Each structure stands twice: as C-alpha cells, then as structure tokens.
Structure 1
C-alpha cells in the first residue's frame, strides 16, 4: 500500500473522532443547568445536608479515577491492536520476561489504590465524627418490618407499622444525631438525599449525625435485606422549620405518644403480620 493510502484511514479516524466530540459538546450545550448539575453528581440525588459534599466529592472522585484508568487501558489496547496488527505470516519476536514492564504493572496500581484509600479513610473519619452536644437526638429502632423514632430530647415517639410508614421530622439547620439499634436482625438506615446510610445491628448500637440544610420532603428506607417484608421498611422524612418541628412534637404528645419506646417491641407487629398473611394483605 502506498504512503498516501495509509494516511487516508488515519485522517478518516481523526475526522470521525472530531465529529463525535463535536456532537457530544452540542448535546451538553443543549442541556439545562439543572440537567448539567444532575450529571455532575453522577446519579446522586440533590444534597440535603451540610455533610453531603464530603461523600459527593468522594463518589465523583472515584468515578473520575475509574474513567481515567479505563481510558488509559482502552488506549493501550487500541494502540496495541493497531501497532501490532498482523501484516504478514512472520511471527513477532517472542519475549518471555520483561522486568521493566512487570515492575510497571505491579507498581502502577498503587498510584490508584493509595490515593483512593487515603481519601476514603480521611472522609470516613470526618463523616462518622460525632459531637458531644448535638441539637437533636433521634433514637432509631429498626424492627421487622418498620421503624420507630424516639425524639429523645422531647420525650416523644412515633411508631410505624408494616402497612403504615412513619414520618420522621427534623429541624432545618440543626445538628441531628441518630442512635441506631435493632431488636431482631440487621437493618440499614438510609436516607438517599443525606448521602449516608449505616447498619442497624442487634446488640451493637451505631450512631452518626448530619445537619439538614434544605427544607423538603424526602424518603428513607432499609438498605439491608432483612426478611420477608423488607420492601415495607419505608419511611418519610420532613425537614421543616423549628416551629413546625415543635408543632409536630406537640401533636405527638397530644396523641399520647409522650414516652420513649425501648426495644424489643416485636410483639406489637407479629399479630398484624399474621393477619396480613392470612388475609392476603398488600405489603407494598
């Protein structure tokens, strides 16, 4: 093949790459600011606490590192396919050992693993740090198959059932500590908009804290397969003003829910579960 014949495919490949890049830029330019913001979070929901940047940055950084490694590997594969493609029947030189290359692919992963490990450990320490005097303390009991929320500072509680999901009220702008406990199996307390979840383990209380900084309605769920009706372990979260929070506490007290519930409390749900099993109740 002539020199000009070899140049044309290279030019066509470059033109194709340029067209793809231009098309990508046009698509991105046509997106709204909100869509670009959603893409920048790489599938994470809109953040709702002061602590979310720690987790969000770690998530995005991990994806950036993964893409960088992927592009490098794909580039090397494509380069090897093109540069060492078969041209004739002569076999290429066979090399049994190549110490520099073996050293490279042994050491190179450390440049990826070490930064990821360091940032993960550093962020984890900050995320799980607890203050000695939080503004609000919520005792969370995860039981098969719902949640109980104790407002420890207010001496009030809210109990959910398998067919009646509870609603957790939190005051905006105040540090909230969650004390997690379970009387039966392992659950996982998860509010996606808070970017945080933690296991609820029998006999091993866990705790974490967040500071909600945006009023709104959110969803929470159990993120650990915990039995037959795991899908029923849903709850609502309302981040409200201080006045609305106090109004809710007053409503709980007026309804007679002016005590702190201590686990175990499984007996309160067994009869309902049996009734639903016998009548074919809907547990969604």
Structure 2
C-alpha cells in the first residue's frame, strides 16, 4: 500500500470515529434533563402560566432566528451577486431612490413590531391579571437577607432566617419555606422591608421586583407538587447570594397541616426598617 493510500485510509478512520463521536454525543445529550425541558428551568404545567410563557419565549426566538437567517441570507446574496468583477470599470449605476423597496423596508418592520407587540401584550395581560378572591393570599416580605411569609387568610406567618452557604452540596435546612397548595389559586403580595429585592422562583418562570413602598403581585395556580428553589434576583447588599428560599407545592391536606405548625399572627409593615417601605 502506498503512502498516499495509507494517508487516505487514516483520514477515513479519523472521519468515521469523529462522526460516531458526534452522533453518540447528540444521542446522549438528547436524553438529558436539560434537552427534555428545552433548556428551561421547569417542566410544562408546573403552574397555570408556565406553558404560556414557554410558548411566548420559544416562538419569539423562532421569529427572531427566521428574521436573522433571512437578513443574513440577503446580505450574503448581495455580496456575492453584486461583487465587483475584474472587468468592471468605474462606479456601478447609481439609484437615488427606489420607492417600492423603500415602502417595503418600512412596512415589513412595522408589521413585525406590531405582531410582536400583540402577542407580548396579550400574554402579559394574562400573566399580570389579579385573581378575584384567590384561595390563598400570601404577603411576601423580602429583607436583608431573608424572607417573611404571611399567610393572610390563615392568619399564620413564618419568619425566615438567612441561609449560610458552606460550599457543601445540598439545601441548608435553615432556608425559609413557602408552602403552596396544589391546584389552588394563589396571590403573592410582594413587598420589601428595606431595599430593592426581586422575588424569583425559576421553575415558575416569573420574577417580580420588590420595591420599598410599593406592593407588586403574582397570581398563579401551582399544578405540580414538588420542591422548587427560590432566590433574590436583585443585588441587594453584602449577602445577596445567601438570600435564598424554597417553595413546597403540596396537597391541600399537607398545606393545612403545615399551617398548624406556624405561629399565629402577621409580620406586617410595622417591621419594615426602611421608612419609605412603611409609608404606603
């Protein structure tokens, strides 16, 4: 066998091994949890809003990619089709204006913007709407660097303690816990005791800022039992990274049982330490 044949055979083996490796990687990653959930931090149906948010997010990316591919395709086509040839001399024929193209370039972006606005506004209106007489109302109070949860209708509360990260795996047992009954409408009244925080449960795909002196709201219905991580998503001071909590979505019976373990009363605005937070 000649050296040229051996080189060709070696290249074929390398190409085959590379192809098998790529195929194996694609098959393995296709079975991963991240791919199964579309690289989103949740599963369909976690709350009554999750599927709507996922559809808006995914479809927005599809539209953006389609526009990007079309735009870059047209740019590359113009670069190739209208490139300067060796035999060309002087400048190409100049056009001062082209009314049909100018109307097209103005109308199409406007239509795209209106379409994006319509779907975004439609979904945002649903997501931010408040529920009449929700089954559970919880006054969530963020503070440096923990959380207080007041269960308004049950007249119960839990005072959260700051998490202390040790670098070891696992969830610290001191994390404040927010209990939610599955398949019951919930209103979270979002307040801050001191500085700006942000209430975020990644699995719910909703994040709301906590602004001193202003109450924001999240209305949702948990539809899947489980334990979910929560955190502050706004840099709020030295121990911002330890302002963690967890959400436990449980059955109605378990929720009622947990309420019996909590203290009676409410930790309301009288415990806010920012005068602007208590001014409302």
- Measured in 2, the distance between the counterparts of 1:204 and 1:190 equals 17
User: Any residues of structure 2 matched to 1:175-214 within 5 Å, and which?
Assistant: 175-214=185-224
Which residue, 49, 53, 56 being the options, matches 1:55?
53
Residues 1:165 and 2:175 aligned together: yes
Which one has the bigger helix percentage? 1
Aligned residues: 239
Structure 1: gaps (5+ residues):
1-22, 268-284
After superposition, the Cα gap between the structure-2 partners of 1:132 and 1:100, relative to the gap in structure 1 and judged at 3 Å, is: same
Tell me which residue corresponds to 2:108: 108
Q: Distance in 2 between matches of 1:199 and 1:220?
A: 13
2:115 and 2:270 mapped to 1: Cα distance? 43
Give the structure 2 partner of residue 148 of structure 1: 148
The SS at the match of 2:158 is strand
Q: Which aligned segments of 4 or more residues in structure 1 are displaced greater than 4 angstroms?
A: 26-30, 33-36
1:265: which partner in 2?
271
RMSD of aligned C-alpha atoms?
A: 2.4
Tell me the distance in 1 between the aligned counterparts of 2:107 and 2:114: 11
How far apart, in 1, do the equivalents of 2:48 and 2:27 lie? 29
| Structure 1 residues 27 and 129: CA distance shift in structure 2, 3 A | same
Scaled by the length of structure 2, what TM-score is found? 0.77
Q: 1:73 to 1:29 in 2, by over 3 A?
A: farther
Q: State the partner residue of 2:169.
A: none
Judged with a 3 Å threshold, the aligned counterparts in structure 2 of structure 1 residues 162 and 73 are, in CA distance, closer, same or farther, namely same
Over 3 Å counting, the alpha-carbon distance change for 1:226 and 1:64 in structure 2 is: same
**Match of 1:46?**
43
Residue number in structure 2 paired with 1:31 = 30
Distance 1:30 1:114, change over 3 A: same
Shift of residue 85, structure 1, vs aligned partner: 2.0
C-alpha displacement of 1:240: 0.9
SS of the aligned residue for 1:108 comes to helix
**Structure-1 residue corresponding to 2:171:** none
TM-score (norm 1): 0.76
Please list every run of 5 or more consecutive structure 2 residues that lacks an aligned counterpart in the other structure.
Answer: 1-21, 164-173, 274-280
The answer for the alignment partner of 1:68 in structure 2 is 66
